[in-house]
Chain A
Amino acid sequence: MAVLNAKDLTLQYDQRRVVEGLTAEIPEGKVTMIVGANACGKSTLLRGLSRLLKPAGGTVTLDGKDIHSRPAKELARILGLLPQHPTAPDGILVRDLVGRGRYPHQGFFRSWSAGDDLAVHRALEATETLELAERNVDELSGGQRQRVWIAMALAQETEVLLLDEPTTYLDLAHQVEVLDLITDLNRRRGTTVAIVLHDLNLAARYADHVIAMKGGRIVAEGTSADVVTEDLVRDVFGLDSRVLPDPISGTPLIVPLGRHHAEFPKSETATLELVP
């Protein structure tokens, strides 16, 4: 399996520094959630980890080898990325789109093999999009479309998969569906997953490992019970909140305070215990 490491990583656009001197490891075989306020550099970190952005300093290594020293196609067989806004070409079929995930496995002259068919079939099956295979991507709902994009990333059959806000624009039911799907993938295939996620509650629930970022640096990392605390939410998001144990999963549940809502007496919530 593959281990993805960032060491002393500095990332910038032109002269604007976004991530500075960051060292992190994406733990093998786990689901890592990267959280933080808007513009904290979390998406940029994902771009840095996935070769989209060349580091201005430091290195990103996969199994100890610098990702920028490898041929792009070879790296894409091990490390997959689903960006935030991929574009579906006009009139493309679901099967065709998912099939493009096989590109890194195809040689210069070898175009398509039975193995590619199989991988596409498996990806469609895993995302429950098999019955959509011959449909036009344009006619799908937002949730279906996101599943199809994830199917494309699955068809790539990489050991590490990075996802940039895969639940944006989805309603809550579809958000849960997508995260369940990614968790299945992690459990069944042992895929190492790193996700940038906005929703702190869902991140806390689905993460094996949480990385919290602020101002281009990591402020805390560990299990969600360790990382997601009232102090951290105040520090990272500038938000006063109460953190309760999620009655379903026992993971931290963030309840924001805001300016318009009075708080219940402490005693009512204090009886609930966080399950680590």
Chain B
Amino acid sequence: MSKADLANVRRELGENAPAECELADPAGPVRANVGPPRSGLMGSALMGRSLMGRTALLAFAVIVLFAVSILLGSYTVTVPDFVRILTAHLTGGERIPGASFIVMETKLPRAVIGTMIGIAFGLSGALFQTMLRNPLASPDVIGISYGASAAAVTAIVVFGASGAAVSGAALCGAMAVAVLIYTISRSGSPGSGGGNHANAAGSRLILAGIGIAAALNAVVNFLMTRADIRTAAEALIWLNGSLNSASWDRAGVLALAFLVLVPAAALLAGPLRILELGDDAAAGLGIRVGITRLGVVAVAVALAAVATAAAGPVAFVAFLAGPIARRFTGKASLPAGAFVGALIVLAADYFAANIAPLLLDGTVLPVGVVTGALGAPFLLWLLVTANRKDA
């Protein structure tokens, strides 16, 4: 059957259904924000609630993986034991020697931070990608992570910093690069006001980011060649992105940032949905485009920056989360992106810490190596399937 035939069949199907549509309409249980995936012939009545359903499914998967990473692995804990350890810890009761320490000081903070940075990276990527309507627009591709890396490596190599100071430097570096990219993308003539204005600004932002990323990569490499071998090794671990130094202090800092940033992202979700229609249409619907854009960039950069500060630039999580969530739920969705981000980090970290050692004679990989290895084939897959869609 040719494409045209298929289109005809679809049309007929659509035209035979009006009675049903009208029946369903006035009560309107099908809300504006639920929709089926790009399933063509599949009836939408069947898939009508799939976005919410599938987002809930993702959230459930995060909880399962969170539990797995605490309970299983190189040191297994049973559920009753875990509950006992947790209550003992919270009430100051009797501790189980060894187990209490491993669970409360290693496994639990590691899983908590893994989940939080996953959510932060996923949300950050989804915000950028939705706003710029471009899957390449994620903080790790457009140089924001490189800003963090360059600053952190400078702190480690030049100033001999460690711990919180490195995180602080990374945070500042990410923010500085974001401001730089934003300024560059805003400069230059905005053209004659055609509809492509917004896309042009978006492409400029991405290109400026890629250029700056390349320059900063050179800075990092230069510093690495100048550093003595031990410092370089320390910097390299940070650069790969790792949850090995997870601690409650870091989780606390992340939680504080979340307290501000997650509600801010939720608040921006509504205007962002309208901004998807293009700048002009959004302005016609009463969105203040400039301010909204700035708000989205600020929140997305802050999310990527705090996550990078906590665990290093875990490669490609922000880049992968949005498109995977989109394929899974059928449309761009911030919560789905956040959950997929958490899933990627938790799964990659479990693999890196527990499965990789079995395959690689006991070598524990930093989580960023696993996500990085996933990122490249995914980018290719995205390119190939995107072309097929346009054809």
| A, B co-complexed | yes
Which residues from chain A sit less than 8 Å from chain B, CB to CB? Answer: 13-14, 18, 39, 43-44, 47, 50-53, 71-77, 80-93, 95-97, 99-104, 106, 112, 114, 116-118, 120-121, 130-136, 138-139, 153, 156, 162
A73 surroundings in chain B (CB, below 8 A): 286
* CB of A10 to closest CB in B, whole Å: 15
A39 surroundings in chain B (CB, below 8 A): 192
Query: Whole-angstrom distance between the alpha carbons of A91 and B34 in the complex?
Result: 11
Listed by A's residue number, 18 A-B pairs whose Cβ atoms lie within 8 Å are A14-B190, A52-B284, A71-B286, A72-B283, A72-B287, A81-B280, A83-B281, A86-B281, A87-B277, A89-B332, A90-B332, A92-B35, A93-B44, A95-B32, A96-B34, A100-B277, A103-B274, A130-B25
Number of interface residues of B (CB under 8 A): 51
Interface string of B120-149 (1 = CB under 8 A from A): 000000000000010000000000000000
Interface string of B20-36 (1 = CB under 8 A from A): 01100111101111111
B22 surroundings in chain A (CB, below 8 A): 130
Query: Whole-angstrom distance between the alpha carbons of A116 and B25 in the complex?
Result: 12
Given A52-B284, A76-B285, A138-B38, 5 more A-B residue pairs with CB atoms under 8 Å apart are A92-B35, A100-B277, A130-B21, A135-B10, A153-B284
Interface string of B274-309 (1 = CB under 8 A from A): 101110110111111000000000000000000000
A131:B35 contact, CB within 8 angstroms: no
* CB of B239 to closest CB in A, whole Å: 34
Query: Whole-angstrom distance between the alpha carbons of A156 and B281 in the complex?
Result: 12
* CB of A144 to closest CB in B, whole Å: 9
A103 and B285 in contact, given A85-B194, A91-B37, A131-B14 (Cβ under 8 angstroms):
yes
Query: Whole-angstrom distance between the alpha carbons of A101 and B194 in the complex?
Result: 21
Query: Whole-angstrom distance between the alpha carbons of A47 and B26 in the complex?
Result: 35
* CB of A186 to closest CB in B, whole Å: 18
Interface string of B352-378 (1 = CB under 8 A from A): 000000000000000000000000000
Residue of A whose beta carbon sits closest to that of B285: A103
Query: Whole-angstrom distance between the alpha carbons of A118 and B28 in the complex?
Result: 9
A100:B286 contact, CB within 8 angstroms: no
Which residues from chain B sit less than 8 Å from chain A, CB to CB? Answer: 7, 10, 14-15, 17-18, 21-22, 25-28, 30-38, 40, 44-45, 133, 189-196, 270, 273-274, 276-278, 280-281, 283-288, 326, 330-332
Please tell me which one of the listed residues A103, A114, A153 contacts residue B286 in the complex, with CB atoms under 8 A apart.
A103
B284 surroundings in chain A (CB, below 8 A): 50, 52, 76, 80-83, 153, 162
B34 surroundings in chain A (CB, below 8 A): 96
* CB of A79 to closest CB in B, whole Å: 8
A80 surroundings in chain B (CB, below 8 A): 284
A77 and B33 in contact, given A132-B14, A134-B45 (Cβ under 8 angstroms):
no
